[in-house]
Structure 1
Amino acid sequence: MKHLVFSGILFFSILFFSNCAGIQYMSIETREPAQVTLPTEVKSVLVVNNVVQQPDEIGHNIKRLGKKQSDRIKVSADSVAIFYTEALSQFLGEEEYFNAVKYYQKPLRSDNDFWQEVPITPETMHELRNATTTDAIISLDKLILQTDRTDFFRQEGYNYAGLTGRIQSVIRVYLPSMEGKIPVVQFTDSMKWEGYDIHDGRAYADLIVPSQEEAMKQLAVFAAEKMTKVFSPHWENQDRWYYTQMSSRMREGEVFAKNNQWFNAIEKWNEFYTKEKNKLNQAKAAHNIALGYEMLDDMDSAYKWAVLAVDLFLQSTTSGSLERRRSLLFKNEIERRRNTSNKLNMQIK
C-alpha cells in the first residue's frame, strides 16, 4: 500500500467521532525513525538464518488437569527460524526504506550446537554480499523459545487452557565498513493466549488456544515485526483530538481541519485565541493550533503552542483534571517527535 504523504504526516485514515461534547478525535499515522541508524551507503540488505533449530525436548511444559506439577514435553520448532527471517525480510520490504531487501533461502548453520552462537565470518559475509549484490547482512544469530500451557477445565469434551510463549533472539548487522563493530540487537518478549483446545471447527471455535508449535510461529512473526522498527523508519498509528466550540471561528477551523486545510484551520483558531479572554477557551484553541502545526510537520511551532496550552490549562482547571493530563500527554508526544525529527530526517534523505 502506498502512503500519501502530507508535510511529513500520512493520513492513512481520518476517523472523526464524538467522545463527548466539544472534542473531536481522529486517527493518524506518524513517521517514526529506525532505532538503529545504518550507514547511508547501505541501500540493500540480505536477511539470513544463522541459527540451529531448537531441539524438541528443550523449553516446553504442560500442566494437565488434576496435576500439581508441569510435565516437560517435546514440541517441534521446525521452520520457526524460517518464519522469523522470512517475515522480517517481507516486513522490511514493505516499508520501502531500502532499495532492495533480499532473503537467503538456505540456513547458514549446519552443526548441532544449539546453545552456541556462531557469528558470520568476514569471508562468509563477503561471499554472501557478492553473490546477492547487497550492502549489508541482517542475520538471526540466536533464537530461543519457551512455551508453558496450563489446562484449567474441560467442557463438552474440550480442554480450556492458557498458554504463555516467550522468545529471545539476537540479530546482528554485518557491515564491511564496521568490522569489529557489529551492531547487535537483543529482543526478549512474550505472548499469552487463552481458549479451548479445539481445532475441528466446531463449538467455541472463536475462542481457541493455539498449539505450542503454532504459538512459536506466531511469536516469530511478532518478533520480526518488532525488529522491522529497529532497522527501518516506519509508520505508527496514533490518536489525536481537537476542541470544538459554538464560536463561529472555532467551527470554521473545524471545517478546515476535516478537509486537511491546516493553514486555514490554524488561522481561524488563532483569530479565536487572540480575541478570547477566557483562559480555558484559550487553552483549547492553543491545543488546536499545536495540532495544526504538527499536521504541517512544523514541530517547533507545534511544541511552542503545546507548552502554552499546558500552561493555560494549569491556570484554568483544577488539579488532576482530564484536560491537564490530556494536554501534558500531547505536549510530551510533540516533544518526543521534535527530538527525533533530526534522526528521522537523516535516515530518509
Structure 2
Amino acid sequence: MDHIQSFLQSIVIFLLGIFLTACSGMLFTSIDVLRPAKVNFPEDVNHLLIVNNSRPQPHTYGHTTELFDESNEAVSIETDSLALFSLASLSEAMAEKEFFSSIHLMHESIKKDSSFSEVTYPDRDYLVDLCRKEGAEGIISLNRIIVNDKLGELYDMSQALYIAYLEAIYDYNWSVHFPAKNQIYSFAAKDTVYWESESYYRERAVNGLPDRRDALIDGALISGRRSVSKFIPYWEQSDRYFFKFQDKKLKQGFDSLYVKNWDAAIDIWTDLLEKTSRKSKKIKTAHNLSVLYEIKGDIQQAYDYSNQAMDVYMDILLFDYRSILFVVQQNEFLRKRLAEMSLLNKQLGN
C-alpha cells in the first residue's frame, strides 16, 4: 500500500522527542502515543474523494449574545461558507499526512434537499459514478455542519478583571463510503473552539474579541484540521511518571535514562527488582520498568511489568495512596494501548 509506506516514512520516532522533568519523588516524562483513527479504510483505498453533502444553516440560527446589561439575544451571522472552509482545511491536513496517494475535494454541495439539519446520505449509484469519474476508491461525505456559538462575559472579582469570550461548538455528521463494496460508515462529532479577551475595562475586553463572522470561519478551519484524526491514525502526547527513591541501583538506572540508554537502565532496574526484598521498592521498580518498556515500544512487556507492580501492591497492607494512583493509571494506559494495537496494525497495513 503506497499510502501506508508514505505515512510511515513521515513518522518521527517519538523516542527522539522524550524529555524528563524532576519533581518531588517523581520524574515526569512526555511521550507521543500513536492512536487509531475512528474509521478503518480497506487496504485497496489509495485515492480518496471528499464531498460536501450539507446545507448552510440560516443566518439567525445558533448565534446568541449574553452581556451583563442585556438579555440573551439571538443575532444574525452569515455562515454559508463554513462547510467549504472546514473541508478545505481537512483536505489539506490529510494530504500533508501522505496516508493516501491522492485526495480530491469537491467544493459544490451535492445535497439534493434543502434541510440544513436533517442528515441524508448521497445516493449510492451517484457515488459509484463519482468514483469512476474521479478515480477514487473511497468517499468522505460531510452531511451536516452546524455551529452554535455564544458571546458572553465574566468578571473575576479577585483580579478586578473583565473577561469576554466567544465559544463556538461545531456539530458534524460524517459518512465514509466504499461504493464498490457497498459499504458505509457514519458517525457524529463535535468540536469546540474558544476565544477570550480580558481587560480591566469592560469595553476593551469585549472589543478585544475577533470579528464574530471571521472567528467562526477560523473555527471551521481549526475544527476541520482537527477532524483528520477521525480518518488517519494520529499522535497524541501523553504523560508518564518514574518513581524516585534512595537507592544506588535506581540512581544508576536514571543516569542511563538521562542519556537515553534504555537497555542499560532496564538491566540495572531488572537486577534491582530481583534482589530487593522491600515490597514498596518492588512496586516502584516494576512500574519504572513498565514505563521504560513502553518508551521502547514493547507494550506487552510494559503491561507485564505494570501487572507485576499491581500484584505486589495487592499483597501489601500499606502503600502511599498518591503513588498507587500512578501505578493504576499506567496499567490502564497500557491496557487501552494493547486493545488498540490490532486496530492500529489494521489501519497501518501491518
Residue in structure 1 matched with residue 272 of structure 2 by the alignment: 272
Which residue does the alignment assign to 2:4? none
Alpha-carbon distance change, 193 to 42 in structure 1, aligned in 2, over 3 angstroms: same
2:166 partner SS: strand
Pair 1:142 & 2:144 matched: yes
Of 2, 14, 17, the match for 1:13: 17
How far does residue 331 in structure 1 lie from its aligned partner after superposition? 0.5
Unaligned runs of 5+ in 1: 154-158
Secondary structure in 1 matching 2:235? strand
Change (3 A) 1:160 1:252: closer
> Across the two proteins, how many residue pairs are aligned to each other?
332
CA distance in 2, matches of 1:284, 1:64: 52
* Corresponding residue of 1:285: 285
SS in 2 for 1:232: coil
What one-letter code is carried by the residue in structure 2 that aligns with 1:18? A
How far is the alpha carbon of 1:327 from its aligned partner?
0.6
| In structure 2, C-alpha distance between the alignment counterparts of 1:302 and 1:284, rounded to whole Å | 13
Q: 1:56 to 1:319 in 2, by over 3 A?
A: same
2:346 paired residue number: 346
Matches within 5 A, 1:234-313: 234-313=234-313
Mapped partners of 2:188, 2:298: distance in 1: 34
Distance 1:235 1:210, change over 3 A: same
Match of 2:260, SS?
Answer: coil
How big is the shift at 1:137?
0.8
Partner of 1:231: 231
1:82 aligned to 2:84?
A: yes
Amino acid across the alignment from 1:91: A
Cα deviation code 1:188-207 (max 9, x no counterpart): 3444444259xxxx9669x9
Moved more, 29-38 or 88-97: 88-97
| Alpha-carbon shift at residue 308 of structure 1 (Å) | 1.3
In the superposition, the TM-score normalised over structure 1's length comes to: 0.84
CA distance in 2, matches of 1:304, 1:113: 53
Q: Deviations over 1:263-283 (max 9, x none)?
A: 222111101111111111111
1:3 aligned onto 2:11: yes
Alignment partner, residue 178 of structure 2? 175
Q: Is the 8 A contact 1:253 1:264 kept in 2?
A: yes
TM superposition shift of 1:218: 4.3
* Higher helix proportion (structure 1 or 2): 2
Deviations 1:108-128 (A, max 9, x none): 347644344442223332333
Q: Whole-Å Cα distance in 2 between the matches of residues 12 and 123 of structure 1?
A: 48
Deviation string 1:7-48 (CA, Å, 9 cap, x unpaired) is xxx236222111114x22111101111122122221231222
* 1:36-93 CA distance string (max 9 Å, x none): 21222212312222212222122212234422x3222110103211121112112223
Q: Which amino acid aligns with 1:297?
A: G
Q: What's the CA shift for 1:307?
A: 1.2
Cα distance change, pair 212–184 in 1 and its aligned pair in 2 (3 A) = same
Counterpart residue type for residue 64 of structure 2? N
CA distance 1:243–1:215, shift in 2 (3 Å): same
Match of residue 326 from structure 2: 326
Could you tell me the TM-score, scaled by structure 2's length? 0.84
The answer as to whether partners of 1:80 and 1:217 remain within 8 angstroms in 2 is yes
CA distance in 1, matches of 2:211, 2:290: 48
Q: Determine if contact 2:141/2:176 at 8 Å carries over to the other structure.
A: yes
Deviations 1:272-301 (A, max 9, x none): 111111111111110111112212322222
| Cα distance, 1:282–1:196 mapped onto 2, change above 3 Å | closer
- Matches of 1:12 and 1:125 in 2, distance apart? 44
Aligned equivalents of 1:297, 1:160: Cα separation in 2: 44
- Pairwise CA RMSD of aligned residues? 2.9
Aligned position for 2:336: 336
Is the Cα contact below 8 Å between 2:164 and 2:205 reproduced in 1? no
What is residue 156 of structure 1 aligned with on the other side?
none
Partners of 2:336 and 2:216 in 1: CA distance: 34
**Matched residue type, 1:79:** S
Candidates 33, 46, 54, aligned match of 2:49: 46
Counterpart check, 1:33 vs 2:41:
no
